[in-house]
Amino acid sequence: MTIISVLLILSCLLLLGSSRLHVAIRVVAIQGLLLGVLPIVRSMGDIHFGIWILALSTIISKGILLPWLMSTCVRLSGIRREIEPFVGFGPSLLCGTALLGLAVWITDRLELTQAQAPLVVLTSSFFAIFVGLFLMVTRRKAITQSLAYLVMENGVYGVGVSLSLDFPFIVELGILLDVFVGVFLMGNLLFHLDREFEHLDADKLTELSDLSGVAQPPSAGFNAAEEKA
């Protein structure tokens, strides 16, 4: 379990520092796999059928399906890298260190014992939530923002697994459905965004606001203008 949490932390740090999108998607897929294995490792003693279903569904949806959907989006839109985020990659790593400290502090304040929840898993899950929020705020591309949403959901899932194991099945399915629908919708949006506007920068979405005037006319060309090389 320590190894899983350490790999979770390291994968989040890699997301903060890397600009290449297919690396990020692969990292999120690995995170999904790790989190799928987590309930099995957590309840080493008495594994019943529900745990297997939980683990399997997590691995399939978070580890295989959603990353596949994301990489299809990336491939069709032709974007390969995140460039010029609001906070540069080096400073992002340093902010990640601060967020890691925050996660440690919060875990410390909760005053749980090791029996109730493995502390390292809790720390790494909180860290994943913070990293997801941070990435959503500071990255420009809509694809990265949906990726960040996935990371945040991974963190929430991790917190849930470490705090209690007997999740009502329906609730967990509901969460997964949320994620699935969210990403599906965003994927569609990205497709259509791609067809209507020239840029995939989410901050250009502000131009849709009624206050700032008429929205941009649909431009010619299916592929995004940037990131061809």
Q: Which residues bind another protein (CB under 8 A)?
A: 2-3, 5-6, 9-10, 13, 17, 89-91, 93-94, 96-97, 100, 104, 107-108, 114, 119-120, 123
Backbone angles phi, psi at 20, to 5 degrees: -85, 130
* Residue 20 bridge partners (DSSP): 81
Question: Residue 35 or 100: which CB sits closer to another protein?
Answer: 100
Q: With b meaning 16 or more CB within 10 Å and e meaning fewer, what string describes 7-43?
A: ebbebbbbbbeebebeebbebbbbbbbbbbbbbeebb
Residue among 121, 175, 173, 184 at smallest CA distance from 153? 175
Question: Residue 11 or 154: which CB sits closer to another protein?
Answer: 11
Cβ 102 to another protein shortest distance, Å: 12
Question: Residue 50 or 85: which CB sits closer to another protein?
Answer: 85
Cβ 144 to another protein shortest distance, Å: 18
Cβ 17 to another protein shortest distance, Å: 5
Cβ 123 to another protein shortest distance, Å: 6
Question: Residue 97 or 216: which CB sits closer to another protein?
Answer: 97
Cβ 48 to another protein shortest distance, Å: 28
Question: Residue 68 or 89: which CB sits closer to another protein?
Answer: 89
